[in-house]
Chain A
Amino acid sequence: MPLLTTTKQYTNNALQNNPLHIALFPATGPEGQTQERNRLEYSFMLNSSLDIFEARMPSKTIGHDFGLLHALDERIALYGWLTNTGVKLVVVVDMEGRTAPSPEAAKIAILGLRNSDLTPAFQALQTAYIRLLRNPFYVPDDHDPRTNRNRGSMEITSPRYIKEVERIGKAWYPGITAI
């Protein structure tokens, strides 16, 4: 069972990408035990994927979906989405298998992920972000390194948004049609 592990949003300047929000979801083992993920490791992974957006931009056709950005190894793959305002959404998927709940279920093989599997997750994330933007007290400029003057943390602090991302991450599974 692939797990949605990380999502990250960046502001739009290519030279000054700034993480808006990172959500990590713990790895789930065979007996349901969970293991926390290393924040730094995933932060590197996400940062390394940003150049791929820039590289693909010239040949990009219309649409938000960047599809598979980068398959890191047999387990980890990164998928991308770009909004009209240049905010990048990246989802990292861990393809580590889970013990099948029953012998029958084990016979149905899940062969990787299709590109469209992540579309609902990205759409839900984008909707959550739009909802955040509609709040008049959220000022996007305060979260942009070029315009922010007070040099504090520029991550999103809205509890409603963070909760929604948490919910999307937990609800998503391959083949879901809407979150």
Chain B
Amino acid sequence: MASSKAARMGEEVWKTRTEKINLEVLTLTYGTLVSQLTHDLRDPATNIPDYAAINTELDRMGHSIGLRLIEDFLAKTSSAGPAPCNNFRETAEMIAKVGFKIFLNVTPRVENWDKEGRSFGLVFEEMPVSEFVELPDDGRAQEELWFLNLFCGVVKGALEMVQMQVKAEWVSDVLRGDDTTEMRVTLIRYIEDEMPPDDE
């Protein structure tokens, strides 16, 4: 039930309260960002791209985006009446059906829960951002680069602002030749409200 409610909310917000831009602008801009990073972050000795550093950098950028994006997310969904999620399963539904819907207009499937309900996979049927992309054919990019790593950072950053520390990482990507594109999100802990240190 929660699932269809989230889907409806996502649809509603996306239709009425989201500013839209041409998809290709976003796709090409993101592609250029990653492509530029492969130029900038190179091993100085061998002059080959350091894909591990690129993944980290994308993750860091995404994290900063997520910290701010959650604000926008809450503002847009507030009048649709989002009660705080009661459990992690609801959180997963919200991320997939509302979060990704209103910012990217894609709805990943929530799958592969682990037994304790602390970890799930987001399976993307389509990913507009990687539509035109062919990873560089240098024998390493296919194994080492996560082209979409920014989105892991976004999920991490956004959830951090609502008191959830999670681990998010890609486990498969069609660009690498896998059958699916799947992001694994694992809850580490709920962050307790910490009072700021007394500055009296």
Contacts and interface: CB of A to CB of B under 8 A. Distances in A.
Interface size range of chain A in the complex: 10 to 19
Interface string A139-167: 10000000000000000011110000000
Contacts of A135: 31, 132-134
Contacts of A158: 134, 137
Nearest to A159: B137
Contacts of A134: 28, 132
Main secondary structure, interface of A, reads loop
Contacts of B135: 137
Contacts, number: 29
The 9 closest A-B pairs by CB, nearest first: A136-B31, A134-B132, A136-B35, A135-B134, A137-B136, A136-B32, A135-B132, A137-B35, A160-B134
A136 B137 contact: no
Contacts of B136: 137
Contacts of A138: 134
B34 interface: yes
B127 to A, nearest CB: 14
Interface of B: 28, 31-32, 34-35, 38, 132-137
Contacts of A160: 134
Nearest to B27: A134
Contacts of B28: 134, 136
A134 B32 CA distance: 10
Contacts of B137: 157-159
Most buried by A among B28, B31, B38, B132: B132
B46 to A, nearest CB: 13
A131 B132 contact: yes
Contacts of B133: 135-137
Most buried by B among A131, A135, A157: A135
A160 B28 CA distance: 18
Contacts of B31: 135-137
Nearest to B145: A137
A135 B137 CA distance: 12
5 contacts: A136-B31, A136-B133, A137-B35, A138-B134, A160-B134
Contacts of A157: 137
A135 B32 CA distance: 9
Contacts of B34: 136
Most buried by B among A137, A138, A139, A160: A137
Contacts of B32: 136
